Amino acid sequence: MPSCSFQLQFSNASGAGWTLAARFADGCPELTLGSSPDADLFCQEPGVDPRHARFRLLDSMQIVIEAVHAESALRVNGASLEGPRPLADGD
């Protein structure tokens, strides 16, 4: 599987926002975002679990986001995430 780069745009409850660049390396179709220093995508914001979200790159080059644990709060475009969700450009 080829590599794939993307950008994540975040905002917290107070409205502060930031961007994080990410890349799936060749042969590694999964990235984990969390507050643990060993997470692939490190995020030290309040409310972020050590292993908070997982991004998977499908063979179709589609990126899917899902919570690592059911109690991890995730939102995409303001809507709560319930189960895995394919991401589209601009999400």
> CA-to-CA distance for 28 and 46, rounded, in angstroms?
28
> CA-to-CA distance for 35 and 41, rounded, in angstroms?
8
The first and second tokens of residue 5, run together, are 């780069």
Q: What is the CA radius of gyration of the chain?
A: 13
Beta partners for residue 32, in sequence order: 54
Tens of pLDDT along the chain (91 residues)? 567 888 888 777 777 778 888 899 888 899 999 999 999 999 888 888 999 999 999 988 899 999 998 777 788 888 888 889 999 888 8
**Has this prediction a pTM greater than 0.75?**
yes
